[in-house]
Amino acid sequence: MIIRILGWADVDIDALRTALDQRARGRSLPQALYASPAVFEAELEGVFAREWLFACNACEIRSPGDYLTLDIGRDSVMVVRGHDLEIRAFHNTCRHRGSRICLAERGNARRLVCPYHQWTYELDGRLFRARQMPPDFDAAEHGLRPVHVEVIGGLVLVSIAAEPPSLRKFRAAVSPYITPHAPQKTKIAHVSELVEQANWKLVIENNRECYHCAGTHPELMATLVDFALPADAASDPAHQALMQTSATRWQAASLPYLPADGGTEFRCIRLPFKDGRVSFTPDGSPACRRLLGGFSEPDQGSVRMFRVPNSWHHFLSDHIIHCRVMPQDAASTVLRTTWLVHEDAVEGVDYGVENLTAVWKATNEQDRRLAENNQRGVLSRAYVPGPYNPSEFMLTDFNDWYIEKMNAAYPPPSVAAALSR
Amino acid sequence: MIIRILGWADVDIDALRTALDQRARGRSLPQALYASPAVFEAELEGVFAREWLFACNACEIRSPGDYLTLDIGRDSVMVVRGHDLEIRAFHNTCRHRGSRICLAERGNARRLVCPYHQWTYELDGRLFRARQMPPDFDAAEHGLRPVHVEVIGGLVLVSIAAEPPSLRKFRAAVSPYITPHAPQKTKIAHVSELVEQANWKLVIENNRECYHCAGTHPELMATLVDFALPADAASDPAHQALMQTSATRWQAASLPYLPADGGTEFRCIRLPFKDGRVSFTPDGSPACRRLLGGFSEPDQGSVRMFRVPNSWHHFLSDHIIHCRVMPQDAASTVLRTTWLVHEDAVEGVDYGVENLTAVWKATNEQDRRLAENNQRGVLSRAYVPGPYNPSEFMLTDFNDWYIEKMNAAYPPPSVAAALSR
Amino acid sequence: MIIRILGWADVDIDALRTALDQRARGRSLPQALYASPAVFEAELEGVFAREWLFACNACEIRSPGDYLTLDIGRDSVMVVRGHDLEIRAFHNTCRHRGSRICLAERGNARRLVCPYHQWTYELDGRLFRARQMPPDFDAAEHGLRPVHVEVIGGLVLVSIAAEPPSLRKFRAAVSPYITPHAPQKTKIAHVSELVEQANWKLVIENNRECYHCAGTHPELMATLVDFALPADAASDPAHQALMQTSATRWQAASLPYLPADGGTEFRCIRLPFKDGRVSFTPDGSPACRRLLGGFSEPDQGSVRMFRVPNSWHHFLSDHIIHCRVMPQDAASTVLRTTWLVHEDAVEGVDYGVENLTAVWKATNEQDRRLAENNQRGVLSRAYVPGPYNPSEFMLTDFNDWYIEKMNAAYPPPSVAAALSR
């Protein structure tokens, strides 16, 4: 079955349907889903053009006229702070001849001016001025085309869907975890972009398990408790005691810590660091002396949050890390990592960038290599989806979600027939 | 509908037909026409393999054995000056095993020798020698395959079509404009090649309007009168006076200046520079002291010529500029610019290359960025063809021509059915 | 007709069938066979996944745990020396989530450990350990998937076919030629990899004739007798005498020298160097003082061997050269050349790498340029398969073999119908 994407890219989804049907729960995905350019095109439409995507922390566009651009496949989106301080998002294509308007990843502008012929848009998207157009030109019909945007606890999400799904459940569930860290009162300490020569789902899968951590991430494991195997942890009295102590303290401080019920859509939990460690630094000591929110002492463990399809986050007492995954093509993906500290923290006094970023820079680079080797290996004709380890249960969650979304976007012929009746 | 190109590249032209039918006059083109690799393949056949293409100035291959090579999609063409001083063109592929014969962009050879097995061709294409071939080998059957070539006022045009369209009208119309500048008595002062990551039609469209000039080209606008909005110019008494003075002088000198009637095929006109400026130099003073043709004073304005699908030209009193556009793929295009001065002009005495090339080097680079941003923006799903400004009327001309040629090459099913009856 | 490769890459083989049917014996191949990505995909399946491929000299993996990896299209193969000194080969993809296991081209490992989650395989392919898998996990079901491997006179061949063809004839025929050079008692002196932007068949064709040698390879022709035109050589009394002298000496030494009967599958012959020259060095003197096998004097000519689809070899008295061709895509190919000397030879004493490799490094580079020009030229619409020179008879052999294999893999509809009856 041929489907046409964007009006001109013809995609044969028979192989996609075959692969979706072949998926075996509890195993890695069939090869076509990692390898096929046609499947990738179908995902851009069926997932990335339908879902909410994490874009940035709102503090990245703090002031009126601040903007950030984001590539979603071939689409570019501008996220803009208005003069009224509202955050809006628009497609980054001029209504004249289609040029991109904002060219930088971040910037500030009083109005959004197309670099080609200076068509000028208000920060709320209205066309302010188009030079020398004839009298019958209707500026009101040529405003920027809007993109949905929501801000949840300082996190900016966008959707290019016509009718994006509800964020109500996500907002309600995660806000209590995030709010104490006051993400809206942060500033960027560092941004890194890493291109991984791997399918975006392999990048996500890599993040969704710590089965690989012990063998790969010495810097990370200096502070992280790998709780992925609760049975093992349960049998460790020291860890049991740490969990109990932490829980008691967090309850007293009214900090939620038990896993939120996010189904396959999101995951949110507060977990302690290794005993005596409080932050993702090489030695586990705080990365920033100025603590976030109302925290008066640094030992708060960390809130770990993941949301399909494209981000995971760490909220600590002293800093926040956002990791954003955007696919480029079937075999390459961009990971953008932002490290944020209190907006009043002073570099060189309260924190140092190298100490703040050392652990996750090393970890991301290690993960890049793993994901790239994974990508190259799954292309083999001898590849067969293998069984997940019990600690890889979150990959099954992710795959469940992915298969459900793709089945909804590209229903099996029998379902499609029923739907069209 | 699937069409087969070159015997093996299958192209589905349904999306092309849809896009051609969707084109709205007075607006930029539908997305597929800028974005689709299938459309690009169809254009290579339907436009570039059927039309005449500007190749070079004849002075680039002045002497017997001089040759220039030109890539037209996957095809390479050799343009060769014979011992009889005739210019001929051939496909650059050996009749033995197909190797390219001339490897450099320009060179000189007594005969054309394939670097693989030294099969040797006369400059008129006949096979002169093939080493050690058996007695029944017929050299006369293995000459180079010819390509059509025409020289008009020193401009060399080639066509790989079996039966190229007539150049009679073009030759008759433009010769009177060009001849006074004696292009055949020039030499190359400089050549630049610029790769633009943009569809070739966006490169052409960029050249066909000056709506963007004021906001983009400070160097160019130091000397150029943007006459694109005649109503505006008409209301400027100073410009009116300049036009009148220039017209009187050109009439006296028998220099044609009114727009030639080129329909959508070509455009040719003589226009004055800004008052007191005579050449495309940073300060508007002459770029070369040795004037072209019979000119005795430099203030001759410039002949501006454009010809579909791939070139524009400036003929001044002191130099000539040829801009040649060749597409590489749906999203990249090579712009080759040559600056020519009188064949007897002496570098360092009569002209300096930096002063000669400064304005258009800057302008080309500025236009490259505009075209590339345009390309990236039209890929957006939010792109809709927008309305042209009145000053962009030449884009409508270009699109009319393009749509006509593509409709002729890939007729709508109803037309195709009628034609085959 | 659409065929599906690897379960997801759809390939339309109509153009392939057309091109196979158009092939004219004694001429170069139709354009599609050199140019089409679809044809290339079909070749990966129809040739490279069905045949035996030369991988390396066994001495490259001399010790237990030594391994070499080899990319065959998207597939990676590990060739491994076991603790029992047996050579085995496996698909390089972990049975867990598919990661590549061996990342280097060559290395040594006590066991094969996947870098992702440390699944650990014995050198014989059995899964030795998978961390923390549940009790019902059956390790015996998750061993490495084997690849066929054969060692012939020290040459390691692999096949990813389910049932590879027989090597019996090849082994029997070439062993007597190779054995005197004792390839299994060598060591690597140098390895080079050269990426050629040319279809793999053009790389092979380039190697299968010396019609181009005189005009291209001054270094090689210092020592090589171009015997490609036996009629010419036959008429040269000096060469006749040299051949006779050589034959007499080889007969006395029980060294086979007449052409082996390899049909289109392989070619093996012993030939003398130019008179007074004994090795592929710039001056024809020995490249290594330590001679191979039981040779006591260096003047043994060389055994030249070619085997479809991917290797040629030179066995001299003092060194061995293996050239391995692996396709990357329709227009790029990797040539890996290894120079081997006696395992006891001492660098700097018995041989110098520069002297040893100078001739073929220069020759390979010259051939790369020829093949790349050939590739660019055959893409021209004016390309028509040209007639081979009589000295290019081995190209006809190669093409016969290629067409036969492709016809077998993708039979014409009539044959396919008969087969399925």
Answer yes or no: is C165 within a domain.
Answer: no
C48 versus A412: the higher-pLDDT residue is C48
Closest CA to A45 of C252, B381, C321: B381
**Residue C233's pLDDT is what?**
57
CA–CA separation, B16 and B32 (whole Å): 7
Please give the pLDDT value at position C31: 96
- The answer to whether residue A385 sits within a structural domain is no
Nearest chain B residue to C32 by CA distance is B8
CA dist A47 and A408 (Å) reads 10
List the single residue in C75, C118, C134 with the smallest CB-CB distance to A381: C75
Distance CA A107, CA A128 (A): 20
Of the pLDDT bands very low, low, confident and very high (cuts 50, 70, 90), residue B153 is very high
**Domain check: are B357 and B220 in the same one?**
yes
Q: Answer whether A96 sits within 8 Å of B387, measured CB to CB.
A: yes
Please tell me the predicted confidence (pLDDT) of residue A133: 96
- The mean pLDDT of A247-270, rounded to a whole number, is 96
What pLDDT score was predicted for residue C238?
83
Cα(B144)–Cα(B82) distance, integer angstroms: 14
**Nearest one of B79, B75, B9, B77 to B42, comparing CA atoms:** B9
Closest CA to B99 of C381, C372, C24: C372
Using pLDDT thresholds of 50, 70 and 90, give the confidence band for residue A359.
very high
| Three-state DSSP state, C321 | strand
Minimal Cα distance from C115: which residue of A?
A370
DSSP A260: P
- Is B103 an interface residue toward C (CB < 8 Å)? yes
Nearest Cα residue to B102 out of B111, B92, B94: B92
Cis peptide before A309 (omega within 30 of 0): yes
Residues 6+ positions from B407 with CB-CB distance below 8 Å: B20, B415
Residues B344 and B199 in one domain: yes
Same domain, C71 and C19: no
Predicted confidence at residue B46, as pLDDT, reads 95
Query: Average pLDDT over chain A, rounded to whole?
Result: 94
C363 with C306, same domain: the answer is: yes
Q: Which chain C residues contact residue A388 at CB under 8 A? A: 97
CB of A182 within 8 A of CB of A292?
yes
**Does residue B399 sit at the A interface (CB-CB below 8 Å)?**
no
Say whether B95 and C19 touch across the interface (CB within 8 A).
Answer: no
Structural domain contains residue B252: yes
Domain contains A211: yes
> Does residue B332 register a pLDDT over 70?
yes
CA of B230 to nearest chain A CA: how many angstroms apart?
Answer: 12
State whether B94 and C215 contact (CB < 8 Å).
Answer: no
In tens digits, chain C (421 residues) has pLDDT values of 677 766 667 777 888 999 999 999 999 999 999 999 989 999 999 999 999 999 999 999 999 999 999 999 999 999 999 999 999 999 999 999 999 999 999 999 999 999 999 999 999 999 999 999 999 999 999 999 999 999 999 999 999 999 999 999 999 999 999 999 999 999 999 999 999 999 999 999 999 999 999 999 999 999 998 764 555 555 678 888 888 999 999 999 999 999 999 999 999 999 999 999 999 999 999 999 999 999 999 999 999 999 999 999 999 999 999 999 999 999 999 999 999 999 999 999 999 999 999 999 999 999 999 999 999 999 999 999 999 999 999 999 999 999 999 999 999 888 877 777 6
Query: pLDDT band for position A239 (50/70/90)?
Result: confident
C387/B contact by beta carbon, under 8 A: yes
pLDDT at A324 over 70: yes
Same structural domain for residues B93 and B113?
yes
- A51: pLDDT strictly greater than 70: yes
Instruction: Say if the ipTM goes beyond 0.90.
Output: yes
C-alpha span between A53 and A77 (Å, rounded): 11
With a cut of 90, say whether residue A75 has pLDDT above it: yes
Residues of A in contact with C8 (CB under 8 A): 15, 18-19, 31-32, 35-36, 38-39
pLDDT score of B233: 57
- Give the residue from chain A lying closest to B11, CA to CA: A10
Tell me the chain B residues in contact with residue C30 when contact means C-beta distances shorter than 8 Å.
7
Contacts of C7 in chain A (CB under 8 A): 15, 18-19, 30-32
Chains in contact with A via at least 3 Cβ–Cβ pairs below 8 Å: B, C
Q: Which of B13, B36, B75 is nearest to B331 (CA)?
A: B36
The residue whose two tokens read 């009295």 is: A237
Single residue among A148, A181, A200 that ends a domain in this structure: A148
Q: In this complex, do B36 and A76 lie within 8 Å of one another by their Cβ atoms? A: no
Does C213 reach chain B within 8 Å, measured CB to CB?
A: no
Show which of B111, B132, B159 is a domain's final residue.
B159
Please write the tens of the pLDDT for every residue from B225-241: 876 455 555 567 888 88
Residues A107, A71 within the same domain = yes
Q: Which residue in A298, A404, A421 sits closest to A351, CA to CA?
A: A298
Q: Average pLDDT for residues B102-130, to the nearest whole number?
A: 98
Q: pLDDT (tens digit, 9 = 90+) per residue, B165-210?
A: 999 999 999 999 999 999 999 999 999 999 999 999 999 999 999 9
**B272 lies in the same domain as B293:** yes
Task: Say what the pLDDT of residue A112 is.
Answer: 98
How close A382 gets to chain C, by Cα (Å)?
6
**For residue A72, what is the domain's CATH number?**
2.102.10.10
Query: Which residues, 6+ apart, have CB-to-CB distance to C218 below 8 Å?
Result: none
Using an 8 Å CB-CB cutoff, list chain B residues near A138: none
Query: In this model, does residue A228 exceed pLDDT 70?
Result: no
Nearest CA in chain C to B113: C215
pLDDT digits (tens, 9 = 90+) for B58-83: 999 999 999 999 999 999 999 999 99
Residue C315 to chain B, least CA–CA distance (Å):
27
Are both A143 and A181 inside the same structural domain? Answer: no
Q: Is the pLDDT reported for residue B351 higher than 80?
A: yes
Shortest Cα–Cα distance, B358 to chain A (Å): 22
Say if residue B148 is in the same domain as residue B203.
Answer: no
Q: Which candidate in A8, A105, A112, A148 is best for mutational testing of the B interface (most B CBs within 10 A)?
A: A8
> Are A179 and A139 part of one and the same domain?
no
| Token pair for C17 | 């069938």
CB atoms near residue A82 (< 10 Å): 15
Domain C-terminal end among C104, C128, C159: C159
User: How far is A348 from B376, CA to CA, in rounded Å?
Assistant: 40
Q: Assess if residue B1 is contained within a domain.
A: no
Residues C55 and B44 sit within 8 Å (Cβ to Cβ):
no
pLDDT of residue A278: 97
CA nearest to A155, candidates A318, A327, A280, A340: A340
Q: Does C396 reside within a domain?
A: yes
Interface test with A, best of C99, C119, C136, C329 (most A CBs within 10 A): C99
C103 interface with A at CB cutoff 8 Å = yes
Q: What is the interface size between B and C, counted as CB pairs within 8 Å?
A: 108
DSSP B173-194: HHHHHHGGG-GGGEEEEEEEEE
Query: Quick one: C68 exposed, middle or buried, by C-beta within 10 A (0-12, 13-18, 19+)?
Result: buried
Same domain, A179 and A321: yes
- Asked if the C-beta of A9 comes within 8 angstroms of chain B's C-beta atoms, the answer is yes
Nearest CA distance, B34 vs chain C (angstrom):
23
The number of domains in chain C is 3
Question: Does residue B229 sit within a domain?
Answer: yes
Nearest to B316 by CA among B165, B123, B152, B181: B181
Q: Does residue C167 fall inside a structural domain?
A: no
- Both A176 and A141 in one domain: the answer is no
The CATH number assigned to the domain holding C315 equals 3.90.380.10
Two tokens, residue A360: 């996750």
Rounded average pLDDT over B248-261: 96
Contacts of B100 in chain C (CB under 8 A): 373-374, 376-377
Range of the domain at C145: 56-159
Inspect the interface and report whether the beta carbons of A93 and B377 lie closer than 8 Å. yes
